[in-house]
DNA sequence: AAGATGTACAACCGCCACAGT
DNA sequence: CACTGTGGCGGTTGTACATCT
């Protein structure tokens, strides 16, 4: 027997929000806050909506300082770089783009950016918007060996397969909260080149601009450098493979990386 | 002009993790 | 320790609008 739904779908309104509903929710939240319980909020706010629907509406559209559309080249590059490395973990990607929401980034990727990246890839051109100081095409190259022009950002590649939710970075979590450390620690000699990706990828993605609390910030405030490196080798498997392929013999490529986070 | 098709994006769905009891 | 409620997440769907034929 499955769980009871969070609300009675037959009795609550569904579909697009009206301006009146938006205003009702906005004014309630601004006046009273969320109150720590989205499920109870609609009743308190006098809205005939599911709590989850209210939460989504607030987080994605009504919250202050939300940006819609008008993605910059820099944002394109950040999304693409992170997607290539960590896959469809939209909440993490969105958390590095001020004013953007995971839903918005996800939609943007699925409808526009993915096609752009694939088109660039199929044409043989680098997916590279005009260079920016923070992340120019040249600087995002991870040219790693004399034989191979292995470049981060050179072509669209399928991202890692989706992972199960791991609660990596909760948007409301304090910065000191540590991300869970994978149960399988594999920072052995063979895997080490992969871990070094952290030192390259994160600065390429904007360095202190995007990770003002240090690179450990990417992992939710991690302060331990060794743990950061272990995590990086799990969370950036594509980049890890690039580094691994460059650093070891082709048939000595570190196997496995992290298949699971927990 | 009208129907078909494509695109963009808001919203929903179902699952998982976690905290509280 | 098991159970329950809730928040959060990514995948998917629905629909309005634009473009094409």
Q: Is any atom of strand C within 7 angstroms of residue A171's beta carbon?
A: yes
**Which residue, A208, A259, A238, is CA-closest to A80?**
A238
The pLDDT value given to residue A255: 31
- Torsion angle defined by CA atoms of residues A106, A107, A113 and A119, in that order, rounded to the nearest 10 degrees: 110
Is residue A246 very low, low, confident or very high in pLDDT (cuts 50, 70, 90)? very low
Of residues A200 and A261, more confidence is placed in A200
Q: Is any atom of strand C within 7 angstroms of residue A92's beta carbon?
A: yes
Are A158 and A241 spatial neighbours (Cβ–Cβ below 8 Å)? no
Secondary structure of residue A94 in the 3-state scheme: helix
pLDDT tens per residue across span A185-194: 233 322 323 3
Q: What is the DSSP letter of A120?
A: H
Please compute the mean of the pLDDT values over residues A20-28 and round it to a whole number: 92
C-alpha span between A134 and A15 (Å, rounded): 40
The pLDDT value given to residue A104: 93
Please compute the mean of the pLDDT values over residues A183-203 and round it to a whole number: 37
The pLDDT value given to residue A160: 56
Please compute the mean of the pLDDT values over residues A237-243 and round it to a whole number: 43
Of residues A57 and A224, more confidence is placed in A57
Spans of all domains in chain A: 19-62, 73-252
> What distances in angstroms separate CA A103 from CA A18, A40, A123, one per listed residue?
19, 23, 29
Of residues A137 and A52, more confidence is placed in A52
CA A181 → C1' C20, Å? 52
CA A167 → C1' C10, Å? 13
CA A180 → C1' C5, Å? 23
pLDDT tens per residue across span A138-160: 222 222 233 223 233 335 555 55
Nearest protein residue to nucleotide C9, judged by CA and C1' positions: A165
The pLDDT value given to residue A119: 74
pLDDT tens per residue across span A92-115: 999 989 899 999 999 999 888 888
């Amino acid at each position: 027997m499955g769980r009871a739904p969070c609300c009675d779908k037959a009795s609550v309104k569904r579909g697009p929000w009206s301006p009146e509903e938006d205003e009702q929710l906005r004014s309630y939240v601004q006046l009273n806050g969320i109150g720590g319980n989205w499920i109870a909020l609609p009743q308190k706010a006098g809205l005939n909506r599911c709590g989850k629907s209210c939460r989504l509406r607030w987080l994605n559209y009504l919250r202050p300082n939300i940006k819609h559309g008008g993605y910059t080249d820099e944002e394109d590059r950040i999304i693409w770089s992170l997607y290539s490395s960590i896959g469809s973990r939209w909440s993490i990607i969105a958390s590095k783009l001020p004013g953007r929401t995971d839903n918005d980034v996800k939609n943007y990727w699925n409808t526009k950016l993915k096609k752009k990246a694939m088109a660039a890839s199929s044409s043989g051109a680098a997916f590279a918007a005009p260079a920016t100081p923070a992340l120019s095409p040249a600087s995002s190259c991870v040219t790693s060996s004399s034989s191979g022009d292995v470049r981060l950002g050179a072509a669209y590649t399928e991202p890692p397969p989706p992972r199960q939710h791991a609660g990596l970075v909760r948007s409301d979590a304090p910065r000191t909260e540590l991300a869970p450390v994978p149960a399988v620690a594999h920072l052995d000699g063979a895997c080490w080149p992969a871990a070094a990706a952290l030192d390259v990828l994160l600065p390429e993605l904007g360095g202190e601009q995007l990770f003002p609390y240090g690179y450990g910030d990417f992992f939710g405030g991690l302060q331990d450098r060794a743990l950061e490196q272990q995590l990086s080798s799990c969370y950036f498997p594509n980049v890890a493979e690039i580094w691994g392929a460059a650093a070891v013999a082709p048939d000595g490529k570190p196997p496995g990386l992290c298949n699971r986070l927990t």
